[in-house]
């Protein structure tokens, strides 16, 4: 038994949780790389993502898991990143893990006064490929999963990140998203 497996009370610490944390951190770095390339500005994972000290928790700049480096960035999304062993896409209901991840993305975005964006991947997906969930339908892109969020009374759609980045620049995506937001606001 390695030292990592024994905690101070003599119990067994799960090596799996250490690997899981490393896997999540690696995923957040990959997400930061994706957004850096797509958006055209540097993104990084939030230090100690998910466990910020009290002195950082009130900083609305640091909500989500991945943020732009520049404090003057106009990036309007709060990014929640998840990497899970197995995820089911298709119809997203309350029993689906993605629904819970989306709820977390919404809470973080509200704190930052930003728009929620959930980016997920699971074991077996090609390296650097993700599924991005937003609360807007992009009717010219194939949707890999969707569902109704009863908390926000909005539908949520998931899109393959590679397809999205190939079909739309970030600027086009932002204009599309905000134009749709304006239509919703006007109705």
pLDDT in tens, 157-187: 999 999 999 999 999 999 998 886 655 555 5
The pLDDT of residue 4 is above 50: no
What does the pLDDT average to over 54-65?
59
How far apart are the C-alpha atoms of 90 and 178, rounded to whole Å? 25
Q: Tell me which residue of 150, 119, 121, 117 sits closest to 136, measured CA to CA.
A: 117
Q: What is the percent of the chain with per-residue pLDDT over 90, rounded to a whole number?
A: 45
* pTM of the complete model: 0.81
Question: How many Å is the Cα radius of gyration of the chain?
Answer: 17
3-class DSSP assignment, residue 116: strand
Q: Tell me which residue of 97, 112, 95, 123 sits closest to 57, measured CA to CA.
A: 112
Most confident of 26-30, 44-48, 144-148: 26-30
The domains of the chain are located at 3-186
The pLDDT of residue 3 is above 50: no
The pLDDT of residue 145 is above 90: no
Confidence of residue 92 (pLDDT cuts 50, 70, 90): confident
Structure confidence by residue, pLDDT tens digits, 69-87 = 998 899 999 999 999 888 8
């Amino acid at each position: 038994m390695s030292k990592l497996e024994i905690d101070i009370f003599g119990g067994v610490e799960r090596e799996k949780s250490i690997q899981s944390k490393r896997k999540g951190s690696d995923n957040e770095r990959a997400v930061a790389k994706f957004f850096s390339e797509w958006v055209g500005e540097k993104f990084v994972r939030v230090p100690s993502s998910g466990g910020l000290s009290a002195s950082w928790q009130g900083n609305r700049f640091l909500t989500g898991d991945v943020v732009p480096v520049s404090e003057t960035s106009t990036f309007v999304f709060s990014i929640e990143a998840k990497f899970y062993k197995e995820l089911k896409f298709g119809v997203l209901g309350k029993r689906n893990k993605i629904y819970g991840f989306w709820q977390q993305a919404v809470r973080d975005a509200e704190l930052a006064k930003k728009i929620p964006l959930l980016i997920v991947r699971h074991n077996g997906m090609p390296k650097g490929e993700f599924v991005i969930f937003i609360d807007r339908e992009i009717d010219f892109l194939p949707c890999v999963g969707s569902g109704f969020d009863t908390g926000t009374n909005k539908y949520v759609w998931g899109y393959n990140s590679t397809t999205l980045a190939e079909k739309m620049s970030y600027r086009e995506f932002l204009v599309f998203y905000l134009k749709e937001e304006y239509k919703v606001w006007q109705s």
